[in-house]
């Protein structure tokens, strides 16, 4: 168990709701949910959530800390924003799900090999390295995320698509050696480092 997780359990011993309100992006909205279920019914991947949003909200209030934070439900969010525009109480549900996923990640509670969690890490590392996305490297990292053997299989299976993307000039093999990026990489990294420091300091409170 991570140290951050242990300290949060100590600090919010009896109220997971308070923990969410204080630590999760837009978490202060959770208590406003009236359990109508429109969010769950509107979610394009609804059937694939072990606990759809409506259920997550009630579980937070019922103190089901471990069940919520170790669930892979939030990682099913496609960011379609259907739930946000349909919620009769105007809860920013998409953002709360993103916030819960990020909080679980920071505490080290995400289920092992959760594919969207893995992709999120690949994506963030990719875009912050040069300041812009390197689509080719991102694609290759994805192919190889489950090991070398699987990576080769994935690459072979998608060979035709890769060729078509290159033929239409929508993928460039030279991106492997550098590729697009911003000039002020050190400035961007300094900004992100500072932002992370500010967030970490709040997390420790």
Partner 1 sequence: MAKKEYSFYPGCSSQTGASASNMQVSVDSMCETLDIKLNQIPDWNCCGASIGYGEGGELPRMALSARNLALSEQHNAGQDVVATCAACWLATRETRDRLLEDEELMKETNEALSAAGLKVEANQKIRHMVEVLIEDFGYDELGSHVKKPLEGIKIAGYVGCQTNRPFGIDGESYENPMYLDKLVDTLGGESLPKYEKKVQCCGGALMFSEPEKSQDMVKGIIEAAYDHGADMIVTPCPLCQMNVEVYQDNINAKHGTKFNMPVVYYSQLMSVAYGKNEKDSALDGQIIKATKLEELAKK
Is 160 exposed, middle or buried (CB count within 10 Å of its CB: 0-12, 13-18, 19+)? exposed
Q: What 8-state DSSP symbol labels residue 198?
A: H
CA 57 to chain centre: 18
- Establish if 50 lies at the interface with partner 1 (CB under 8 A): no
> From the CB of residue 90, how many other CB atoms can be counted at a distance below 10 Å?
10
Distance in Å from the first CA to the final CA of the chain: 19
Choose the binding region for partner 1 from 1-9, 31-39, 63-71, 174-182 (rule: CB under 8 A).
174-182
**The residue count for the chain:** 205
Q: DSSP string covering 10-74, please?
A: HHTTT-HHHHHHHHSTTGGGGGG-----HHHHH-TTGGG-SS-HHHHHHHHHTT-HHHHHT-SGG
Provide, rounded to whole angstroms, the least separation between the CB of residue 66 and partner 1: 20
Choose the binding region for partner 1 from 4-12, 13-21, 49-57, 84-92 (rule: CB under 8 A).
84-92
Compare residues 63 and 137 and give the one whose CB is closer to partner 1.
137
Contact between 17 and 31 under an 8 Å Cβ cutoff? The reply is yes
Choosing from 5, 21, 38, 82, the residue that interacts with partner 1 (CB under 8 A) is 82
Choosing from 11, 32, 80, 156, the residue that interacts with partner 1 (CB under 8 A) is 80
Choosing from 61, 121, 137, 155, the residue that interacts with partner 1 (CB under 8 A) is 121
- Could you say which residues in the range 11-30 bind partner 1, by CB under 8 A? 25
Residues near partner 1 (CB under 8 A): 25, 44-45, 48, 75-76, 78-82, 84-86, 94, 98-99, 101-102, 105-106, 115-121, 123-125, 127, 131-133, 135, 142, 160-161, 164-165, 168-172, 174-175, 180, 182-184, 187-188, 190-196, 198-199
């Amino acid at each position: 168990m991570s140290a951050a997780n242990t300290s949060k359990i100590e600090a919010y011993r009896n109220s997971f709701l308070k923990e969410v309100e204080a630590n999760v992006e837009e978490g202060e909205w959770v208590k406003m949910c009236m359990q109508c279920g429109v969010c769950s019914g509107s979610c394009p991947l609804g059937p694939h959530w072990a606990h759809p949003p409506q259920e997550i909200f009630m579980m937070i209030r019922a103190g089901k800390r471990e069940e919520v934070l170790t669930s892979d439900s939030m990682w099913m969010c496609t960011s379609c924003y259907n739930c946000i525009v349909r919620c009769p109480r105007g809860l920013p549900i998409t953002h709360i799900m993103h916030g819960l996923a990020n909080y679980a990640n920071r505490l080290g509670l995400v289920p092992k090999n959760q594919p969207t969690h893995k992709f999120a890490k690949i994506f963030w590392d990719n875009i912050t390295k040069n300041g812009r996305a390197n689509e080719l490297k991102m694609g290759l990292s994805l192919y190889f995320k489950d090991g070398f053997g699987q990576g080769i299989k994935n690459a072979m299976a998608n060979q035709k698509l890769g060729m078509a993307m290159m033929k239409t000039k929508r993928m460039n093999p030279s991106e492997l050696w550098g590729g697009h990026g911003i000039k002020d990489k050190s400035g961007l990294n300094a900004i992100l480092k500072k932002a992370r420091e500010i967030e970490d300091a709040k997390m420790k409170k």
